[in-house]
Amino acid sequence: MQVTVGEIATFLGGQVVGDEQRLITGISSLAEAADGDISFLANPRYEPMLEETSAAAVLVAKASASARVVQIVVDHPDFAFAKVVQQYGPQPRPMAVGIHPTAVIGEGVEIGEDVRIGAYAVVGDGTRIGAGCRIFPHAVIGDDCWLGEACIIHPHVTVRERCQLGHRVTIHSSAVIGCDGFGYASVAGVHHKIPQVGVVIIGDDVEIGSCTTIDRARFGKTVIGSGTKIDNLVQIAHNVEIGEHCIIVAQVGIAGSTTLGKYVTMAGKSSAVGHLSIGDQSVIAAGAGVTKNLPPKAVVAGAPAQDIKSHHAQVVYQRRMPRLQATVKELERRLAELEQRVKDNQA
């Protein structure tokens, strides 16, 4: 990588504060940057690092007069940095166009133009693979699936039978789409499996992290809305419906038949019990457990989840408990002394 600050600024539509001819040879964080690297400042809390970093240039939302480093002023430094990485950073070795000789392709499969299918990948009967898709080695696409254009299926992903992916869907290694929902009928002390005959339907521009599982519906469909981003190690149960542009962070669990609106955020290790409705733009804090319906724009924390301000107040009171306990013991001691004095006077 060899590009000038001015060239990067032109690419981003940003404004340079400093030497436009400064040569950029690498990409790094503010703390780890070496001479020649470009970095970014997205959180104002780290602004003092502009005076300490060894970076050659930093993307910022607002120029700092005290900074010793060349600055490129852009509207969204974090997003701009992502564009720089994509444009100038290390690029993965491209897959060869075509189907690897060891791949197994079923009967009646439709494959669009410019598709890449890697070694030992499996595509089931009757499946359609849209143009520009990349299916990496050891991925398995089941029978009668539908993949839109430009999907990326990483190694060891399993997309089970009849599931549907929109355009530009990315699924990371070892995720499973369309596994059976967890359904059993207990009769005479025995758990009998309930068939899960529905599907999973994933919208456009969805990204799904490694080792995430999305269960097929018992009947009908489990739905992931367009633009939604799902982290690693997430469990989404049968018949769940997730709206558009949601953020689901690592280790979230969503029980069956729960519905999330648009732009919902579920932070790490949060959860929701089944058959709930969570309104648009709600935010569920890390570790929270939602047990009842939430209106739009709710912000909740705790288990069971409640309004985050109430939860924070309770946490404050809990932290005061040792001091309150000591105060109560002191008051009890004084009361006992007073009672003893009264008894002594009466005597």
The helix/strand/coil state of 288 is coil
Is 238 assigned a catalytic role?
yes
- C-alpha span between 43 and 45 (Å, rounded): 5
Torsion angle (degrees, nearest 10) of CA 174, 175, 180, 182: 100
**Annotated catalytic residue within 138, 154, 238, 245:** 238
Q: At what angle do helices 5-12 and 77-88 cross, to 10 degrees?
A: 110
**Minimal CA–CA distance to 131: which of 95, 171, 167?**
167
For residue 256, give the DSSP letter: T
Alpha carbons within 13 A on the beta-carbon side of 100: 19
Q: Is 345 helix (H, G, I), strand (E, B) or coil?
A: helix
Q: What is the C-alpha separation between 203 and 223, in angstroms, rounded? A: 8
**Annotated active-site positions, please?**
238
